[in-house]
Amino acid sequence: MARILVVDDAKFMRLTLTDILMNADHEVVSEAENGIEAIDKYKETKPDLVTMDITMPEMNGIDALKAIKEIDPKAKIIMCSAMGQQKMVVDAISAGAKDYIVKPFDDSRVVEAVNRVLHLT
């Protein structure tokens, strides 16, 4: 079981991901709705993994990813993107993201990505 921080500007998406993760026996330790909040929550909760939306107000997911990696170079972050954001996904992976999942979420793909990044499979 991992401690996970869920970051997405849409409450519905946070709820959806939280349900998927909790059904897979993970603990969602906190949620954030933008990149600035994500950085604060990361420092506060020190999660094992972060799911990070790319497109958010105030600070996007790629900038938040870079900031979290500066705080903790070992941070494990999975990016969440909508279809058609391949360029941003490539940018995120080169900035240190471990994997990505596409919206709308496929439960088994989310669990597979989380387990692979955490080396549980």
- Phi, psi for 33 (deg, rounded to 5): -110, 0
Cα–Cα nearest to 4, from 58, 34, 24, 12 = 24
Compute φ and ψ for 50, nearest 5 degrees: -125, 135
Distance between CA 90 and CA 100 in Å, rounded? 10
Give the pLDDT of residue 88: 86
| 4 pLDDT higher than 70 | yes
Give the mean model confidence (pLDDT) for residues 69-75.
97
| Segment holding 31, helix H or strand E | strand 27-32
pLDDT at residue 121 above 90? no
Q: Which amino acid is at 51?
A: T
At 8, list the tokens: 């997405």
CATH no., domain 3-106: 3.40.50.2300
pLDDT tens-digit map of 21-40: 999 999 999 999 999 999 99
